[in-house]
Amino acid sequence: MPLSATQLAYILRTYVLDRRKPFLASLKLTYRCNLRCRQCPFYSLPAPDLTFGQAIAIIDRLYARGDRILIFEGGEPFLWRDGPYRIHDLITYARRSFFSTGVTSNGTLPLDVPSDVVWVSIDGLRDTHNALRGAPIFDPVIANVRASRHPRLLVHVTVNSVNAAEIPRLLEYLAGLFRGITLQFYYPYNGRDDLFLDFERRERLLDEVIRLKHAGLPIQNSTAALQALKHNRWTCRDSLIDNANPDGRISQGCYLKGRADIDCSRCGFSPHTEISLACRGNLQAILAGLRIFL
């Protein structure tokens, strides 16, 4: 869906001339999850699920704050329920106003949602993925992916020290299943460094990822963002990001704020890289955002 004239005018007015409002929001409906993944710090956090009314109120607040892209997250967001309401109802409501909506899922449940984008998180080939996720879920997830008819089904890969060696083979495999691939790097939440990939290996791997992208694999990260991630030589515009939590709090800025210790030198959050570059006028990052969301 191309940008309308109204949407384009809003982006130019708000993020080129003003530059203070957030644009991309994540909404964690629940911390509950049906997995216990090694790389995730959220499933053990205490917080009740949002009610339908609370979630609608947060969606309205995010829009009023300036956000125009909304991503539903968890935990596992497909587990969210409030009586007869499911995540489908929240997405339908949000699509009335936001430019684009997305969902990130572990893929263990059917992927039949009306969002503009669906990401499935896959972090390795069968044995590696199962080990990182703590359960033998690889084959059921792939079955759900094959059964999905969603028009914009993407896969999101979090690179870490365990899966780094097989990432090129994984990307080639995933290219046959998904419309596109996005990557980010594991962040060592609160000092848990065993999964952190050192920058020497990160640089070598990113060179290979860029080669595969130029060879035709549907890697959606821009080359500019992949280059910037090698040594984190980019300026973060974290004011562009809003994060909403199951307790109703909204924070503007770094994804880690209120969730973990912040060490910018170890950042691997490619969406922040991409949006920061885009709002500094980088054409590759702008086009990457349009391809993914619009």
3-state secondary structure string, the chain? Answer: CCCCHHHHHHHHHHHHHHCCCCCEEEEECCCCCCCCCCCCCCCCCCCCCCCHHHHHHHHHHHHHHCCCEEEEECCCHHHCEECCEEHHHHHHHHHCCCCEEEEEECCCCCCCCCCCEEEEECCCCHHHHHHHHCCCCHHHHHHHHHHCCCCCEEEEEEECCCCHHHHHHHHHHHCCCCCEEEEEECCCHHHCCCCCCCHHHHHHHHHHHHHHHHCCCCECCCHHHHHHHCCCCCCCCHHHEEEECCCCCEEECCCCCCCCCCCHHHCCCHHHHHHHHHCCCCHHHHHHHHHHHC
pLDDT at 190: 67
Mean pLDDT of 60-67: 96
Mean pLDDT of 220-231: 97
pLDDT at 189: 81
Where does 5-293 sit in CATH, by number?
Answer: 3.20.20.70
Residue 147 pLDDT greater than 80, yes or no = yes
Percent of the chain with pLDDT over 90: 78
Please tell me which residue, 257 or 30, carries the higher pLDDT value.
30
Percent of the chain with pLDDT over 70: 96
pLDDT at 39: 84
Residue 294 pLDDT greater than 90, yes or no = no
Please tell me which residue, 267 or 1, carries the higher pLDDT value.
267
> Residue ranges per domain, the chain?
5-293
pLDDT at 248: 92
Residue 185 pLDDT greater than 90, yes or no = yes
pLDDT single digits (tens) 9-32: 777 676 565 667 899 999 999 999
Residue 201 pLDDT greater than 70, yes or no = yes
pLDDT single digits (tens) 166-181: 999 999 999 999 999 9
Mean pLDDT of 151-178: 97
pLDDT single digits (tens) 234-253: 999 989 999 999 999 999 99
